[in-house]
Amino acid sequence: MTLAGRETIVAKLRVSLKKFLRLPNSFSSEVLFQVFPLDFLKWADVEYKNCRIKWEARLNRGLVSVESLERFVIPRVRNLPIEFNKLLKCFVSWCGACQRPFSPEHLEEHGVQGVKMDVLFENLDGIRRSLCEMRGRKAMREEIMEAYSCHLKGILNEVESVLNKYARSF
39-85: per-residue pLDDT in tens? 888 888 898 899 999 999 988 888 888 888 998 887 765 677 888 88
The one-letter amino acid code at 111 reads: G
For residues 97 and 133, state if they share a domain: yes
Q: How confident is the model at residue 138 (pLDDT cuts 50, 70, 90)?
A: low
51 and 83 inside one domain: no
Pair (15, 41) in one structural domain? yes
pLDDT of residue 139: 64
Domain end: 75, 103, 133, which one?
A: 75
Q: Are 142 and 126 in contact, with CB atoms under 8 Å apart?
A: no
Q: What pLDDT shows up at residue 150?
A: 92
Question: Are residue 141 and residue 153 in the same domain, yes or no?
Answer: yes
**Is 57 found in the same domain as 119?**
no
Distance CA 56, CA 74 (A): 27
* Structural domain for 94, as ranges: 79-170
Cβ-contact 110, 162 below 8 angstroms: yes
pLDDT at 65 (0 to 100): 82
0.75 exceeded by the pTM? Answer: no
- CB within 8 A of 32, min separation 6: which ones? 14, 17, 18, 23
